Amino acid sequence: MVFKTKTLFSYLQNLQTTCESHVNPNFSPQIKHISSLKVVWRKDEKLDQAIENDKQYKLCARVVKEVLNEPGQAIPLRFLEKRRARLRLNIKIETFLSRYPGLLEYYDDRIKPKTNPVLFLRPTDRLRDFLEEEMKVYTDNEEFIVAKLCKLLMMSKEKVLSCDKLVHVKREFGFPNDFLVNLVPKYSNYFKIVGYPGEGKSFLELNSWNPEFAKSIIQLRAEEEAKLTGISARPNFNVKLPPGFFLRKEMREWVRDWLELDYVSPYEDVSSLDQSSREMEKRTVGVFHELLSLSIFKRVPVPILGKFSDEYRFSNAFSSVFTRHSGIFYLSLKGGIKTAMLREAYKDGELIDRDPLLEIKDRFVELLNVGRQERAERLRVQRDEVKKDIEMMASRSEGEEEFDKHGCNEQM
């Protein structure tokens, strides 16, 4: 989507600047490059539904993770019950387990040697099989994960990120739990941990720059288009507003002029750019586009993105980018949390741009579905038994009534 025509507003601004600079040689133009025009937020029900569809999956994953993080991967039932608020679970643990059988199983054990046995929870054999499959998916995609981690470092200002922050976003980008312990040392040609691990002051630093990784999704897409058409394609953003969503004329003109600017790769050095320039905003949008493209679900909660404001040179008002560029992003308010979503990655609310690591989620959902099917079958059998009992009781009652009636007639 490339525009060739300047707006009248831009032309008048340039003309005014030219005239005043001729009249006053010391004149310094004070032009506000980033648009101050407001874009009204509009709800996108289909994209909101995409978040809602993953709600149960993420809830189950949180509960399972809580147990797996315990010593011996086991926890007393009553201990887990006390953590329901933190897990954002609004039903009792036993009710939850009855709805999702196949995840955790009960067994008796002692918390201390001389105490009475209590109910414990541990992973089922079926869940342990899934965990083995998960490790295989991570192994099969190891080079992909390394490239993704390199890209996060290469986009940062100093080519270094806090280890604590990376651990905090590992689920968003699909890094395994032990990536800092096992994966990073294995690729010492790319990574180096500096500082004091374990004290919250350690950092992951980029050891070497791989030019193959320094290409954004948008640049790779332009290269692919050039190969297919034989015509050099200009890297730029796909802008597509949902049906029924319209921008005011002033905003449409601003977006048109902004898109006409050269694309600024998130891997370029932008230390010379003015933070308030349109070029810097184009670079910022490029960074967000790349970060969301690297994420598993092509969406990331805004508070998580905000943790990297300094490392990626985001302004304090960075979240306004998602509403101002509503043809590229969608800002969901689902669940009371602002979540930035990449529009082009979805179609009718379904994720079409699938990360290879989504295979883990697919297999976990299969595990949940098997458990739900077993529960549904068990409930069906129970209903059938109750129905048979009712029919039997009704039949017996009819027989007794018939017997009483027959006996009464004989006495008469």
What tens digit of pLDDT does each residue of 310-332 get? Answer: 999 888 888 889 998 999 999 99
pLDDT mean across residues, the chain: 85
| pLDDT at res. 2 | 37
Q: Is the model more confident about 265 or about 389? A: 265
| pLDDT at res. 399 | 62
| pLDDT at res. 137 | 97
By percentage, how much of the chain surpasses pLDDT 70? Answer: 86
For residue 70, name the pLDDT band (cuts at 50, 70, 90).
Answer: very high
| pLDDT at res. 36 | 60
Domains and CATH numbers, the chain: 60-132 (1.10.10.10), 135-362 (no CATH)
For residue 232, name the pLDDT band (cuts at 50, 70, 90).
Answer: confident
81-104 tens-digit pLDDT: 999 999 999 999 999 999 999 999
Q: Is the model more confident about 246 or about 183? A: 183
Residue 7 has pLDDT above 50, yes or no: no
The full 3-state SS of the chain, as one line of letters, equals CCCCCCCHHHHHHHHHHHHHHHHCCCCCCCCCCCCCCCCCCCCCHHHHHHHHHCHHHHHHHHHHHHHHCCHHHCEEHHHHHCCCCCCCCCCCHHHHHHHCCCCEEEEEECCCCCCCCEEEEEECHHHHHHHHHHHHHHHHCHHHHHHHHHHHHHHCCCCEEEHHHHHHCHHHHCCCCCHHHHHHHHCCCCEEEEEECCCCEEEEEECCCCCCCCCCHHHHHHHHHHHHHCCCCCCCCCCCCCCCCCCCHHHHHHHHHHHHCCCCCCCCCCCCCCCCCHHHHHHHHHHHHHHHHHCCCCEEEHHHHHCCCCCCCCCCCCCHHHHHCCCCEEEECHHHCCEEEEHHHEECCEECCCCCCHHHHHHHHHHHHHHHHHHHHHHHHHHHHHHHHHHHHHHHHHHHHHHHHHHHHHHC
Q: Is the model more confident about 380 or about 153? A: 153
By percentage, how much of the chain surpasses pLDDT 90? Answer: 60
135-148 tens-digit pLDDT: 999 999 999 999 99
* Average pLDDT, integer, range 184-190: 95
292-316 tens-digit pLDDT: 999 999 999 999 999 999 999 888 8
Residue 27 has pLDDT above 60, yes or no: no
For residue 406, name the pLDDT band (cuts at 50, 70, 90).
Answer: low
| pLDDT at res. 315 | 83
Q: Is the model more confident about 99 or about 381? A: 99
Residue 235 has pLDDT above 80, yes or no: yes
| pLDDT at res. 374 | 83
| pLDDT at res. 21 | 39
